Amino acid sequence: MEALGIELLNGLGLFATLGIVALGLGIVFGLMGVINLAHGEFVMIGAYVAYLVQDGGLNYWLAIPAAAVVLFFVGSAVEMVLIRRIYQKPELTILATFGLSIVLRQLAEILFSKNSRKVSNPIPGATDVFGITFPTYRLVLIVVATLIVVAVLLLFTKSRFGLTVRAIVANRGLAESSGIRTSVANILAFGIGAAAAGVAGVLVAPLVSVDSQIGLSYLPGAFLVVIVGGFTRLWGVVIGAAIVAAVQTGVTHYVDAVWAQIAALVLAVVMLQLSRSGSREVTI
């Protein structure tokens, strides 16, 4: 029973991590139609922000708003300089963002070298949860990541800004003719998506070695979550993260991690085929 409880908590941790990493991708990929292969590097930048904040003697938790601000401006700049010119051109967005990911990794290596950096655990130790001992920081990560995901989802579903984004997704031409400044909405949406990835990088930094390749570990899983949850449903990111986390945790428990990745990939392929055979509705 204890082993099952630990696996459940591990699954919740994976769900929270996948959810917050995939949330930003869901915004730019699912809602804006941009295939951003540099999304993992936004996570990497967030992790380096956590390292710099802690290395500077500041409180680790200050890295969350710092990374959100830094990545918001990075994402906004990427949209204005690069993405804006190639909307509705998937093949160009793939090439452009792939090139951007290489540039960002090389910049990270120039600034920080190829050596990995370490972010200290801000909340060491373990906590008893219903008789199960589990790392305290991982419990906090689950709570913080869940709150951030809910806040961003509410922003896109309950606010005027969210209504504007939904109008643009539904019919960009009609939205523009109605006086909606689609360029401003695109900048804000892309910036928020990048900020979410940066916050994810901060949260996972104490659990991993921070280096220029860290983003490559999270990009495939984020795409799987978006595919499983549905391309055009932002709430689907939560559903997709829950499904992928459950599949990977379950298969890892009963078989091994390699088969868990294969199972998640097969699930994504099946969902992709189902989405192609069905009608494509835009919902958030």
What one-character-per-residue DSSP string does 34-95 give? ---TTHHHHHHHHHHHHHHHHHTT--GGGHHHHHHHHHHHHHHHHHHHTGGGGTT-HHHHHH
- φ/ψ (deg, to 5) at 51: -65, -45
What would the two tokens of residue 66 be? 């710092």
pLDDT score for 233: 67
How far is it, in rounded angstroms, from Cα 20 to Cα 151?
Answer: 11
pLDDT at position 283 is 47
**End-to-end distance of the chain based on CA atoms, in angstroms?**
38
Specify the DSSP class assigned to residue 212.
T
Question: How far, in Å, CA of 180 to CA of 67, rounded?
Answer: 29
- pLDDT computed for residue 4 by the predictor: 65
| Predicted local distance difference test score (pLDDT) of residue 279 | 44
HSE-up of residue 189 (Cα within 13 Å, Cβ side) = 31
How many whole angstroms separate alpha carbon 36 and alpha carbon 53? 27
Query: For the chain, what are the domain ranges?
Result: 2-277
Q: In order along the chain (284 residues), what is the average pLDDT of each group of 10 residues?
A: 70 86 82 83 96 94 96 94 80 90 94 91 87 87 89 84 74 72 82 92 93 88 81 74 83 76 79 61 46
3.30.160, 2.60.40, 3.90.930, 1.10.3470: which CATH number matches 2-277? Answer: 1.10.3470
What is the Cα–Cα distance from 70 to 6, expressed in whole angstroms?
35
Distance CA 61, CA 37 (A): 28
Residue 122: Cβ-neighbour burial (10 angstroms; 0-12, 13-18, 19+)? middle
What is the pTM assigned to this prediction? 0.86
